[in-house]
Amino acid sequence: MERTLIILKPDAVQRQLVGRIIGRFEDKGFKIVGAKLRRIPRQTLERHYSDHKGKPFYQRLLAFMSKDPVVILALEGKNAIAVCRKMMGATFGSKADAGTIRGDFGISDSFNLIHGSDSPEAAAKELQLFFDTDELVSYDIISAPWIYDEDELVEPPSLPRTPP
């Protein structure tokens, strides 16, 4: 199982899409192992978006992401990073395929609703930046064997047969 960071950006919160987006991840079979609603301090955003420093959109991105609350999620599941990114769709809503989060809910090329880790290394770094160790929980969900095609499916108990 793999963990990834997902941020539902201020536009997703303002447009009241949080439940619908989280529902897509749960419907797919991902388990929420951490969740927060908060404003992200500018210093944290500078660390998170350090790869974009110096680019023309950098200051606007920091202002946008620090202005309003976001929902920060830690999701766990099989191939979580790649599958979540596929579910998110292309970076720009106008180019994202229908059926993806950005394709179904976005048209903007500036406000793209969601962030997701793009590699195992990025996920580890981002999860550590946004969650303390004790804020991430491990637990089993009863549907896991059916979601993940596990070979360890347990036969359900036989029900007593009633005579015809």
Residue pLDDT, tens place only, 76-128: 999 999 999 999 999 999 999 999 999 999 999 889 999 999 999 999 999 99
* pLDDT computed for residue 144 by the predictor: 86
Q: Which of 115, 117, 126, 127 is catalytic?
A: 115
Question: Could you tell me if residue 152 is inside a domain?
Answer: no
CATH number of the domain bearing residue 73:
3.30.70.141
Task: Match 């015809």 to its residue by tokens.
Answer: 164
The answer to whether residue 158 sits within a structural domain is: no
Residue 164 lies in a domain: no
> Per the structure, how many domains does the chain have?
1
Residue 143 is predicted with a pLDDT of 87
Domain that holds residue 32: 2-147
Question: What CA–CA distance (Å, rounded) separates 102 from 93?
Answer: 5
pLDDT in tens, 46-56: 999 999 999 99
Asked, for residue 92, whether it belongs to a domain, the answer is yes
pLDDT higher than 90, residue 33: yes
Q: Which of 14-28, 96-110, 144-158 has the lowest mean pLDDT?
A: 144-158
Q: Specify if 160 maps to a domain.
A: no
Instruction: Map tokens 């192992």 to a residue.
Output: 33
Q: Would 159 be classed as within a structural domain?
A: no
**pLDDT confidence bin for 159, thresholds 50/70/90:** low
In a domain, 86, yes or no: yes
> In terms of pLDDT, which residue wins out, 98 or 143?
98
Our separate counts of H helices and E strands in the chain read 8, 4
Mean predicted confidence (pLDDT) in 33-55: 97
Q: Can you tell me the mean pLDDT for 129-138? A: 97
Under the banding of pLDDT at 50, 70 and 90, the label for residue 164 is low
Give catalytic status of residue 115 as yes or no: yes
Domain annotation covers residue 156: no
Helices 18-28 & 80-88 angle (0-180, nearest 10): 140
